[in-house]
Structures are given as structure tokens and as C-alpha cells.
């Protein structure tokens, strides 16, 4: 009987192909929109997470002042080499600690020049930030100690200053110093915040302090926490130690901050998630509108087929059999819409993912949920018209013109 | 074969003081004002009367599509007035066949599928359904037209499909509401001959509303309605 009802529903839908397709359109668009939103959202989240992981999730950053961004560290004292050494010495869970100082500068090679960020640090900087070399080498111990004019450059700097030439052994002019390129870093691409991570020049800290900055300041201490150790705990330890070293009065706020990359990762993916949920909710409204469209057409259909319903009732169809017939028709209509929507969504998300350069992440559960939801829309919005059909008086229905 | 005096114990149909009132109070219309009627198994009864005489109301009640306001209706001993909507539907499905003036076939549906419709609700297996429907169509003389839709058939042929649909379940009672009302004289007589044959050869009890004495002449008995009452039961006028 159910099989018969199903065949009947399919035939009825085929009989009015154009009308059926137009009726389904709302569901198709709704389902497609929800799936595309969630798929792209997942892709974006995956991308952000991957980028942050490339930075090292066990990374802690100690910066001056309270806040990141404009005005940070304006009146907070800088860190010193002794601070770096103290962190290295006293925080057992820190596997590598790198102090660094940075400055924006114009790098010149021949006729080309390029504004970039020059950072002074040591080899631990590369370890902490998960940098790997594409070519050349890192600093030697004598180079770091003596403050030689050598540097390691990122892929963007190489491209802008050297094009396709081999940069190793060439000299870059940074203010008054001519720096020899000894290493080329492997490209990391755009960061989660949208900045180009490959746009950097790194030189030994001593070289930077003596010949570029002219002071002994360190603006940033980065450390990686050993696998298995709680970053929360390490953070608390560092905060306590730094307050002491920087003589912060117990009543005052910290004049530095310790930031956890996990925190930043959660914050960034959280934003994406909220956005995805919001857009999906908007898309879901279209499903609702699609449901109302189905209800409308089913009501029209019941009116059009009043005589047919009368015939069926007269020859002995039960109320629930007529109800089922129309309900199944509505559900088949909406489920077909759901299936078409899923197909459309797959095509659209693959296309959009490559267009927006976001990885395509197939989300099985959301596809299943969208399909079940579309079927449920058929049940909910098909019920009222179906009940109206089932409750018709056979005598009246047979008289209907 | 089976005729007016069936060997079954008890009548097929028994109406006792059946009334049907529409509306209430001053606006009340007494469509039936106390009808008594007995129909035996195997009879062929014609119902006549002017419009508004209550014959359609009586047919709806006899067809279990409607219930009386008072009085009792026994169909094969079952008190129909006590049955609910679904139980009456099951009774129609099992024991009744309908033929209407306007044919009432499903549009854009083949003759065979139209005839199969009651069997679908009876959950008859597909193969048996085909065979029974084909046999019923052959019985009304429509072999070779199984695939035609109502739009591709003449009025007389459509009414034959409707009759095939009514008898495919082997009903005890065939209710025909002006079955020849939309047909010309030649087709009308063909249909009446067919109904007469079904009554005679297959023992199907037939109750037919008509306002043409010519058609009523095919019946064994004519019941006249006037103002919601049965006023006369007689043998039909002789066919010329």
C-alpha cells in the first residue's frame, strides 16, 4: 500500500512537472543555502585552525603593555635579555624561548626596494615559530655573538627583491648596513589575521640592537611550551615571575601580557562559527518559506482534485488512506527538493570553495540533517492540506465541479 | 439464476422509518420523512420521483455515504446507522459498487487503472488485480481498451468502465445514480442491457435511480418517491 501511495505521488508530481519544480524551488534553495554556508564555514574554520597550528598551538607570546593593537606598550618598559634568560631558566615547561625586537624598514637591493619588518632574534626564534628553511642555513654561534651583518629572509622579500635569482650570498641594504642573505625560509602564506607571514627579514639580535635600533630593548618574548604541559599553568607562572621582575605594584595591572595562541585560535574560529550559524539561520528561513509554498500548492491540488477524492472515498478509501496519499505527495515533493538542493549545494560549495580559496570540507551530518529537515517540512506543511482532503464529505466532493 | 426471491435468509436492505433532516428549527428541511423499504438479494429495483422527492438522499443513505437522522438501516443485518465513518468506508469497499451519472472516472488514468482502484484499497496483490480488472473490462465489452484514458473513450464506453469498476470487487449491491442520464438513447439501452445481464447472470442486486420510465422498465420493481416518502411500489410498465 505504501508503495502504491508512493507511485501515485510520483505520478501526480510528474503530471505537473513545471508546477512541482517551482514548488520545490523554495526547498531546493533553502537546503542548498544551508549546506553551502555550513560547508564554507567549516572550510574557513579549518583554514584558520591550520594556519594557527602552523604557528604552533603551544606558542606563548609575552608582549609589553596590556593590549594588542594601537597604543600597546606605549609607556610600559621593554624587556631585557635578562628577562629572556630568566624565563628560560625558571619556566621548566618552556622548550624554547626567543626574545626579539622588530622594526619596519625599507630593504634595498640594486634598484628594487621593499618595505618590510626586520626582526632581531636568534635561532630559537625559528624553532618557536615553526619556521623551516627552503635554502641556505641559519645563524652560526659566532655570527650571533659577534653581531655579524647576516640575515634570513622570507619568501615575499625574496620575490620582491630578487625575483627568481638565487638570494643566498647576496647583500640587502637596510639603512646603513649591508646584510648578507644566508637563508631562505619556506613559505607559510597568509596568516589567520590576513597578514603576509612571509614578509620578514631576520638578523641576529645583537646585530639588530647595535646597528639598527641602537638600544638593548627586547619587545617580544616568544616561547613554546613542551607537549603535554598546560599552557594555562605556564602562563600563570610567567605572569607571576614577570610582575616580580618588572616591579609591578600588587595593586596595579600587569604592564605586559602573556597570550596563548590557543586563545587566539579559539577567538578567530569562534567568530567564523557565529557567522556561519547566523548565515545558516537566514538560509533556514528560506526552507520555511519553501514549506509554505508546498502547503499552498497542496491546498490548490486538494481543491482541484476534490472530485477524485470523492471517488476514492465513495469506493471505500479510509480517511487515513486519503490523508496518507496527500501527505506522502507533500513529503515526496519536499524530499525531492531536498535532494536537488543537496546536489546544487555540492556543486556550489566546490565552486565557491575554490573561488574563495577555502578548503572544501564535506560535512556529512549537515547534509543528512538538511535532507531530513526538508522531509520534515513536507510532513508539517503537507499535513493541513492532507487532513482537509481526508475530511471531505464524499457526497459534497462528488458533486464538486 | 438468482432472482427476487433469494435463498439468503433476511433481506439485503431494510429501511425502517428512516428520516433525514437538514438544518434546524424553522429552517429544517425534511428530505426523508419516514421511509420504509425492503430490498431482497438479487433484485433489480428502479427508484423514480421528481427532483427534491428525497431519492438522492435515500441513495446516499443506502450507499452508506450518509447516515439517517432517525430510523434504522440494516444492510445484510448490520445496523449501518451505528457505524462510524471508517466502518462505513470499509462496508462500501467490501459490499458496494457505485455508478454515477457523470461517470466519475479518474482523469488521465487508464481504464485498467480506474477499474483497479477499488482493488488497491482492498490490498489485492498486483497480479490478481490486473487479472480481475481485465476480466471486469471484458465483461462490459471493453477488451482492447484497457490502456485508454477516459478522455479517449466515448460516454457509453466511460460508463462501461465505471460499471466495470463497480463490479470488479463482486459487490452485493450496485448503486446506480441515473447511469444513463448523460447518454443518448442507443447507448442508454446498451448500458441497461448490460446492467440487466449483470443482475440476471451474476446475481448482483441493483438499485438504480432514473427518471426515464423506459429505463425503469428494465427493473423488476419500481419505487416511487414523493416529498420524502415512498408513495408507490409497483411492477414496471411493460417495455415496448
Query: Domain span at residue B99?
Result: 13-234
Torsion of CA B123, B125, B130, B135, to 10 degrees: -80
CB < 8 Å to A4, chain B: 120
Residue B79 within any structural domain of the chain? yes
Q: Is B93 on the interface with A (CB under 8 A)?
A: yes
Partner-chain residue, chosen from B63, B123, B165, that has the shortest CB–CB distance to A1: B123
Mean predicted confidence (pLDDT) in B188-203 = 93
Partner-chain residue, chosen from B90, B91, B104, that has the shortest CB–CB distance to A311: B104
Q: Where are the domains of chain A?
A: 2-51+266-399, 77-254
- What's residue A35's pLDDT? 92
Mutate to test the interface with B, among A15, A316, A323 (most CBs of B within 10 A): A316
Residue B6 within any structural domain of the chain? no
- What's residue B197's pLDDT? 94
Q: Is the pLDDT of residue A160 over 60?
A: yes
- What's residue A74's pLDDT? 55
Tell which residue, B108, B187, B110, has the closest CA to residue B145: B110
Pairing type for strands A112-121 and A220-225 reads unpaired
Asked if ipTM goes beyond 0.95, one says: no
Mean predicted confidence (pLDDT) in B35-46 = 94
The chain A residue lying nearest B120, using CA atoms, is A1
Q: Is the dihedral of CA B110, B116, B120, B126 positive or negative?
A: negative
Residue B4 within any structural domain of the chain? no
Q: Is B22 on the interface with A (CB under 8 A)?
A: no
The answer to whether the Cβ–Cβ distance between A315 and B100 falls below 8 Å is no
CB < 8 Å to B96, chain A: 316
Supply B94's cell numbers.
467490501
Q: Are B124 and B132 in contact (CB under 8 A)?
A: yes
CA distance A59 to A125: 11
Mean predicted confidence (pLDDT) in A136-165 = 91
Percent of chain B topping pLDDT 90:
82
Percent of chain B topping pLDDT 70:
95
- What's residue B4's pLDDT? 37
CA distance B206 to A127: 99
The band of B236, judged by pLDDT with boundaries at 50, 70 and 90, is confident
State pLDDT tens for residues B125-171: 999 999 999 999 999 999 999 999 999 999 999 999 999 999 999 99
Mean predicted confidence (pLDDT) in A29-49 = 88
Q: Is the pLDDT of residue A138 over 60?
A: yes
CA distance A237 to A90: 9
Distance of CA B165 to the CA centre of its chain: 12
CB < 8 Å to B108, chain A: 15
Residue B48 within any structural domain of the chain? yes
Higher-pLDDT residue of A195, B216? B216
Give the neighbor-by-neighbor strand order of the sheet with B70-75. Answer: B29-39, B13-22, B70-75, B78-79
Q: Is B68 on the interface with A (CB under 8 A)?
A: no
Residue B120, domain CATH? 3.40.50.300
Residues whose CB is less than 8 angstroms from the CB of residue A160 and which lie 6 or more positions away in sequence, other chains included? A112, A114
Mean predicted confidence (pLDDT) in A80-106 = 88
What number of H helices and E strands is found in chain B? 7, 10
Mean predicted confidence (pLDDT) in A344-369 = 90
- What's residue A193's pLDDT? 65
For chains A and B, CB pairs below 8 A equal 55
Residue B95 within any structural domain of the chain? yes
Q: Is B117 on the interface with A (CB under 8 A)?
A: yes
State pLDDT tens for residues B62-88: 999 999 999 999 999 999 999 999 999
Q: Is the pLDDT of residue B5 over 50?
A: no
Mean predicted confidence (pLDDT) in A353-382 = 90
State pLDDT tens for residues A177-199: 899 999 999 988 777 666 788 99
Residue B3 within any structural domain of the chain? no
- What's residue A57's pLDDT? 65
State pLDDT tens for residues A245-302: 888 888 888 888 888 877 777 777 788 888 888 888 888 888 888 899 999 999 999 9
The chain B residue lying nearest A393, using CA atoms, is B65
- What's residue B129's pLDDT? 94
Higher-pLDDT residue of B6, A308? A308
Residue B144 within any structural domain of the chain? yes
What number of H helices and E strands is found in chain A? 13, 10
Q: How many domains does chain B have?
A: 1
Q: What is the DSSP letter of B101?
A: T
Residue B181 within any structural domain of the chain? yes
CA distance A368 to A364: 6
- Report the range of poorest mean pLDDT among A70-79, A334-343, B222-231: A70-79
Q: How far is B235 from chain A (nearest CA, A)?
A: 30
Higher-pLDDT residue of A341, A189? A341
Amino acid at each position: 500500500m505504501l508503495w502504491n501511495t508512493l507511485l501515485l505521488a510520483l505520478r501526480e508530481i510528474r503530471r505537473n512537472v513545471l508546477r512541482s519544480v517551482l514548488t520545490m524551488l523554495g526547498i531546493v534553495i533553502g537546503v542548498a543555502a544551508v549546506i553551502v554556508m555550513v560547508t564554507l564555514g567549516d572550510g574557513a574554520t579549518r583554514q584558520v585552525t591550520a594556519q594557527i597550528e602552523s604557528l604552533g598551538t603551544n606558542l606563548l607570546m609575552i608582549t609589553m603593555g596590556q593590549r594588542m593593537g594601537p597604543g600597546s606598550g606605549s609607556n610600559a618598559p621593554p624587556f631585557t635579555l635578562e628577562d629572556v634568560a630568566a624565563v628560560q631558566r625558571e619556566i621548566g615547561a618552556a622548550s624554547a624561548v626567543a626574545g626579539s625586537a622588530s622594526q619596519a624598514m625599507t630593504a634595498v637591493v640594486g634598484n628594487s626596494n621593499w618595505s618590510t619588518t626586520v626582526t632581531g632574534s636568534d635561532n630559537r626564534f625559528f624553532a618557536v615559530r615553526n619556521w623551516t628553511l627552503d635554502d641556505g642555513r641559519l645563524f652560526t654561534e659566532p655570527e650571533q655573538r659577534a653581531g655579524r651583518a647576516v640575515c634570513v629572509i622570507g619568501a615575499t622579500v625574496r620575490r620582491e627583491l630578487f625575483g627568481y635569482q638565487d638570494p643566498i650570498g647576496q647583500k640587502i641594504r637596510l639603512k646603513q648596513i649591508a646584510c648578507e642573505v644566508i637563508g631562505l625560509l619556506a613559505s607559510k602564506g597568509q596568516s589567520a589575521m590576513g597578514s603576509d607571514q612571509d614578509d620578514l627579514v631576520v638578523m641576529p639580535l645583537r646585530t639588530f640592537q647595535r646597528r639598527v635600533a641602537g638600544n638593548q630593548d627586547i619587545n617580544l618574548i616568544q616561547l613554546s611550551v613542551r607537549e603535554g604541559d598546560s599552557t594555562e599553568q605556564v602562563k600563570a607562572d610567567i605572569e607571576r615571575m614577570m610582575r616580580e621582575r618588572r616591579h609591578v605594584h600588587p595593586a596595579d595591572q600587569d604592564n605586559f601580557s602573556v597570550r596563548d595562541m590557543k586563545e587566539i585560535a579559539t577567538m578567530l574560529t569562534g567568530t567564523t562559527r557565529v557567522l556561519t550559524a547566523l548565515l545558516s539561520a537566514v538560509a533556514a528561513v528560506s526552507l520555511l518559506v519553501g514549506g509554505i509554498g508546498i502547503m499552498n500548492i497542496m491546498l490548490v491540488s486538494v481543491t482541484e482534485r476534490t472530485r477524485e477524492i470523492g471517488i476514492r472515498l465513495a469506493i471505500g478509501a479510509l480517511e487515513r488512506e486519503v490523508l496518507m496519499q496527500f501527505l506522502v505527495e507533500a513529503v515526496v515533493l519536499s524530499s525531492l527538493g531536498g535532494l536537488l538542493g543537496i546536489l546544487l549545494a555540492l556543486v556550489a560549495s566546490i565552486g565557491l570553495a575554490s573561488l574563495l580559496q577555502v578548503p572544501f570540507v564535506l560535512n556529512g551530518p549537515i547534509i543528512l540533517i538538511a535532507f531530513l529537515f526538508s522531509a520534515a517540512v513536507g510532513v508539517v506543511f503537507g499535513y493541513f492540506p492532507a487532513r482537509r482532503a481526508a475530511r471531505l464529505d464524499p457526497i459534497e466532493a462528488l458533486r464538486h465541479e | 439464476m438468482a432472482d427476487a426471491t433469494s435463498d439468503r435468509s433476511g433481506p439485503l436492505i431494510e429501511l425502517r422509518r428512516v428520516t433525514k433532516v437538514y438544518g434546524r428549527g424553522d429552517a429544517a428541511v425534511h428530505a426523508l420523512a419516514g421511509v420504509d423499504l425492503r430490498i431482497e438479494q438479487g433484485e433489480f429495483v428502479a427508484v423514480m420521483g421528481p427532483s427534491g422527492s428525497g431519492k438522492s438522499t435515500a441513495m446516499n443513505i443506502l450507499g452508506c455515504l450518509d447516515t439517517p437522522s432517525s430510523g434504522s438501516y440494516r444492510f445484510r443485518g448490520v445496523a449501518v446507522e451505528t457505524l462510524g465513518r471508517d466502518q462505513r468506508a470499509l462496508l462500501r469497499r467490501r459490499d458496494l459498487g457505485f455508478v454515477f451519472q457523470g461517470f466519475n472516472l479518474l482523469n488521465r488514468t487508464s481504464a485498467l487503472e480506474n477499474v483497479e482502484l477499488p482493488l488497491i484499497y482492498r490490498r489485492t496483490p498486483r497480479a490478481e488485480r490486473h487479472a480481475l480488472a481485465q476480466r471486469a473490462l471484458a465483461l462490459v465489452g471493453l477488451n482492447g481498451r484497457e490502456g485508454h484514458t477516459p478522455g479517449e473513450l466515448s460516454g457509453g464506453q466511460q460508463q462501461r468502465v465505471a460499471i466495470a469498476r463497480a463490479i470488479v470487487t463482486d459487490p452485493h449491491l450496485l448503486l446506480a445514480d441515473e447511469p444513463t442520464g448523460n447518454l443518448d438513447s442507443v447507448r442508454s439501452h446498451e448500458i441497461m442491457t448490460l446492467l440487466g445481464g449483470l443482475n440476471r447472470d451474476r446475481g448482483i442486486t441493483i438499485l438504480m435511480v432514473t427518471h426515464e420510465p423506459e429505463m425503469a422498465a428494465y427493473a423488476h420493481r419500481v419505487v416511487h418517491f414523493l416529498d420524502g416518502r415512498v408513495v408507490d411500489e409497483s411492477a414496471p410498465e411493460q417495455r415496448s
